[in-house]
Amino acid sequence: EQDSAFFILLSGAVSVVKGTNAYTIARLSPGDFFGEISFLTKTPRTATIIADDTVLVVKVNKEMLDSLGPSIRDKIKDSIIVRLAERIQRLNNILLITEFDSRGIRKEVETAGNKNEESSQAQS
């Protein structure tokens, strides 16, 4: 779904889920926000938000954001930027770990292959 608003969670907790199996990718608590990617990029939403309990949210559209005044608007934008930077950093760390793990697995496979070759040559 494409929307021109994002949401700030004021109270309660929500889960961010993706996929047909509703895989939970994050849990959000008061002060967190969601829908900001779609709001900023004007692209369809890619996740579903499920309330874990009773929640209170504020829906922020462009008109509301513009009416808040530069100081508050800048604080909200800065908060979004920081959160996006944290996500990028977390994803980079996951990629590094995945790359490191795949190198280790590749090395183990190569070592096992070399041992099989040595064993075959010794038996010949």
Residue 67 class from Cβ within 10 Å (0-12 exposed, 13-18 middle, 19+ buried)? exposed
76-94 pLDDT per residue, tens: 999 999 989 998 998 888 8
| CB distance 77 to 36 below 8 Å | no
The pLDDT of residue 118: 59
The pLDDT of residue 124: 57
The pLDDT of residue 5: 93
Cα separation, 102 vs 87, whole angstroms: 22
The pLDDT of residue 51: 96
The pLDDT of residue 1: 55
Low-confidence ranges of the chain (pLDDT < 50): none
The pLDDT of residue 64: 92
The pLDDT of residue 116: 59
The pLDDT of residue 95: 84
Picking from 7, 5, 81, the residue whose alpha carbon sits closest to that of residue 51 is 7
